[in-house]
Amino acid sequence: MQITFLGTSSMVPTKDRNHTAVFLSYDTEGILLDCGEGTQRQFKIAGISLQKVTKILISHWHGDHVLGLPGLMQTLSSTDYDKKLQIYGPKETKKRIEKLFEAFVFDKKLDFEVHEISNGKFFENNDYILESYQLEHGVETLGFAFIEKDKRKVDMKKVRKFGVSQGPLVGKLQQGQSIEFKGKKISPDDVTFMEKGKKVSYVTDTVICNGCYKAAKDSDILICESTYSSKLMEKGEEYGHMTSKQAGMLANKSNVGKLVLMHFSARYKDTKELEEDAKDVFDNTVCAWDFMKLEL
């Protein structure tokens, strides 16, 4: 799994920080979290093909989170994109997507599907689950979590002790099936172990609320907004945003492994103050920058 931060600014971009967008790559899946203005150009600079995008998750419909959507969709429609793009967002997302196609001229058709979601699980396959959580920002806003399922891993040293080498029999053991080899039964419990899946949560544009804690709970990585430092807490409350210290407290109370701050106000020329503010309450904190990559 790889996470690429394509945009880490809030409402106003800066020369160093683009509007909000985060790309999570997992196996053949490419999940784009929000799509601020200029996101498709950020993909190019990061060296990531737009063809890799399979899902777009929209937290809410403020411009700094969606203004890049029509451009990205138009580019996909003019390429050899051979998938059905899946778009997920809060209620009224279908209507707003329809309005995009009324406002702009798309010469070629893009195959896509729009899903309106609220609280709870909205996607599941054999490898992972996607969940959404209701946040509080004055407009319909969602937080998200990517939850990797636990995986059975084969201990090849133990397998070789039974005389079994790589091949279909090892595959069956990894799938949790018992096998028979040279007259001896081998159980998956004899030679495999369960590896716990990772959880990545995404919380942006909200005041502290129950949905924040549900999203953040037990996350290996919490990607969280940090629009203001604690010195501007009243301003944050007025505009429906968290401070960096509040993000740190959220991580502290939610059994989070690592806190990654983003969605910074343009007033901050660097993010040192915000990082230190969060570290007062949660030490394993880092401020994201555009094109930062994390490997899990």
Query: Tokens for 99?
Result: 């309005």
* Helix orientation angle between 93-103 and 69-77, rounded to the nearest 10 degrees: 70
Spell out the residues 6+ positions from residue 271 whose beta carbon is closer than 8 angstroms to its own.
226, 261, 264, 287, 289
64 is catalytic: yes
Report which secondary-structure segment, H or E, holds 24: strand 21-26
Alpha-carbon distance 87 to 101, whole Å?
15
* Angstrom distances, CA of residue 187 to CA of 36, 60, 181: 50, 48, 11
Report which secondary-structure segment, H or E, holds 157: helix 156-161
Spell out the residues 6+ positions from residue 72 whose beta carbon is closer than 8 angstroms to its own.
35, 39, 40, 50, 53
**E-assigned strand segments in 162-290:** 179-181, 184-186, 192-195, 199-203, 221-225, 258-262, 285-287
Question: Given 16, 34, 64, 107, which residue is catalytic?
Answer: 64
* Angstrom distances, CA of residue 264 to CA of 36, 92, 167: 14, 27, 50
CA angle 81, 83, 84 (to 5 degrees): 120
* Helix orientation angle between 69-77 and 39-46, rounded to the nearest 10 degrees: 60
Q: What is the DSSP letter of 243?
A: B
Q: Which residues are catalytic?
A: 64
